[in-house]
Amino acid sequence: VGGARLSCRWCFSLAIATSISCLLFLPTTTAALRAPWTAAVSFLIHPQSPSDNTQIRMASSLSSKEPPKEEETPPPKVIRLLALHGSEGNAANFQERLEPWKIAATAAHWDLQITTVTAPVPKGRGYAWWSMPPNVRSYNATEYPHFEKSSQLVLETLETDEYDYVVGFSQ
């Protein structure tokens, strides 16, 4: 709807059985309410195994009492997102996992530009943002080796562009 602003509520759970779901878009201006419409997009990502293979289910719907006029359609809102992968991940893999977010954003007429960065600490098949001494858990650690190096990398990345949001996964 021309000139309409959208509000967005993101609900997601990032637990061991990774589940990212429910994007809900609602009109928030009087102009949008004159031509009522809603768009809802949801998706779930479920690991099939401990490997990086995933099964993606996606559903979307769009309804409108009257279609928007072409000349009233505003350009897509650009949203710049810096996304930091979890332990044993990497930038390329996390970019792939966030593809459903880009699809959902496109359906909402948003241009979601995602930048991912690979952490500097090799770990397993990927990388981590810090390491732990042997037999130490994060909740009782007194030091986080490599954290300063990782922090510097993130700060340098933030200085290269203007980001609207920073999202981190796990670790």
Write down the pLDDT at residue 67.
60
Average pLDDT, the chain: 72
For the segment 34-42, the average pLDDT, to the nearest whole number, is 41
Q: How many Cβ atoms sit within 10 Å of the Cβ of residue 87?
A: 17
Enter the pTM of the model: 0.57
* pLDDT band, very low/low/confident/very high, at 113 (cuts 50, 70, 90): very high
Write down the pLDDT at residue 118.
98
Cα dihedral 28, 32, 38, 39, rounded to 10, equals -80
- For 6-16, give one letter per residue: b (16+ CB within 10 A) or e: beeeeeeeeee
User: Whole-angstrom Cα distance, residue 100 to residue 77?
Assistant: 17
Using DSSP's 3-state secondary structure scheme, residue 157 falls into helix
Q: pLDDT, tens digit, for every residue of 42-75? A: 333 444 444 444 444 444 444 555 665 667 778 8
Tell me: pLDDT of 19 over 60.
no
Percentage above 90 pLDDT, the chain:
47
Percentage above 70 pLDDT, the chain:
58
Cβ(101)–Cβ(31) under 8 Å? no
Could you tell me which residues are beta bridge partners of residue 40?
24, 61
Write down the pLDDT at residue 68.
59
The residue ranking higher by pLDDT, 88 or 21, is 88
Sign of CA dihedral 60, 117, 120, 145: negative
